[in-house]
């Protein structure tokens, strides 16, 4: 008996014993045709989806770095401080220089991130955010808050400020 014939015989015996009767998906068509690609691509896509791998993980390093730079320029207004922006830009620049030293794959040029441009964008986003913010509630006269001095109302922010240097000097004399 040849090997394929022996396999067919084993499958036929298992069918007669009812081994395949309670399998999930019984009577339903198999989804073997991949959507938009070949079978290997479909398998990789399904595996990545099941394992929770982001599609960016499959990109070559220079393209991944470029995409990261694009995202950074889009969300720069959401950062809390200039130092945080400069730290992130420095990290990306470090990885770009690291990749330039020993490039793997096709030669794709990736520019370094200009931290000063990112900070300028962040400042513009911050000023736009403050311009669209609600105007402050009416309070005491415009100017320096007078909280903390006897007989003066508290500032709207509730911040106690120290008197100016010349007032402190006058009080000391």
77-109 per-position pLDDT tens digit: 888 899 999 999 999 999 999 999 988 877 888
pLDDT recorded at residue 68: 92
Going by C-beta distance under 8 Å and a sequence separation of 6 or more, which residues neighbour residue 108? 60, 62, 63, 66
What is the average pLDDT across 25-44? 74
| pTM, two decimal places | 0.53
Q: Between 9 and 46, whose confidence is greater?
A: 9
Tell me how far apart the alpha carbons of residues 127 and 76 are, in angstroms, rounded to a whole number: 13
Percent share of the chain, pLDDT over 90:
28
Tell me how far apart the alpha carbons of residues 109 and 103 are, in angstroms, rounded to a whole number: 10
Q: Which residue has the tokens 């401080």?
A: 81
- Most confident range (mean pLDDT) of 29-43, 57-71, 143-157 is 57-71
- Distances from the Cα of 122 to the Cαs of 16, 65, 93, 151, in angstroms? 72, 21, 18, 41
pLDDT recorded at residue 155: 47
Tell me how far apart the alpha carbons of residues 26 and 8 are, in angstroms, rounded to a whole number: 20
């Amino acid at each position: 008996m040849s090997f394929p014939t022996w396999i067919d015989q084993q499958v036929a015996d298992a069918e007669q014993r009812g081994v395949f009767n309670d399998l999930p998906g019984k009577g339903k068509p198999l989804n073997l045709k991949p959507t938009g690609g070949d079978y290997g691509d479909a398998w990789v896509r399904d595996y990545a989806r099941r394992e929770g791998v982001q599609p960016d993980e499959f990109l070559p390093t220079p393209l991944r770095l470029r995409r990261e730079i694009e995202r950074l320029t889009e969300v720069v207004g959401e950062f809390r401080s200039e130092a945080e922006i400069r730290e992130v830009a420095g990290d990306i620049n470090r990885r770009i220089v690291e990749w330039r030293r020993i490039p793997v794959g096709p030669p794709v040029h990736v520019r370094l991130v200009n931290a000063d441009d990112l900070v300028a964008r962040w400042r513009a986003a911050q000023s736009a955010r403050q311009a669209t913010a609600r105007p402050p509630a009416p309070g005491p006269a415009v100017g320096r808050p007078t909280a903390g001095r006897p007989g003066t109302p508290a500032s709207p922010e509730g911040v106690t400020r120290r008197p100016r240097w010349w007032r402190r000097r006058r009080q000391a004399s």
